Amino acid sequence: MQRLAFKMFLNPGQDSEYWRRHDEIWPELTALLAEVGVSNYSIFLDSETHTLFAYLERADNHRMDSLPEHPVMRRWWDSMSDIMRYEGGKPVMVPLLEMFHQA
């Protein structure tokens, strides 16, 4: 199992809409994430900076690299593009370096 953290950026004033869309997350998207080996996925918001902090765990043999080409993922990203910072048709995701972990 691997841990992965990254940040994304919410457009100002979109907190409630982001929350609403994730409250109604598509079952086919959650199934896809599980299928490619993603689990324990959480996203947190720093409302002062509009920065989203995401954490997930993924199987050692994960297939996350296939997500950008999957039609469900593309539709989800398209549906979120009006409330987040996007480049090249997908959300800006900045990987974070794990500096400490205590199990």
Hey, which residues are catalytic here? 22
Gyration radius (Cα) of the chain, Å: 14
Residue in the structure block whose two tokens are 């048709």: 89
Single-letter amino acid, residue 30: T
Alpha-carbon distance of 95 to 90, in angstroms, equals 14
Token pair, residue 40, equals 């324990």
Alpha-carbon distance of 90 to 60, in angstroms, equals 24
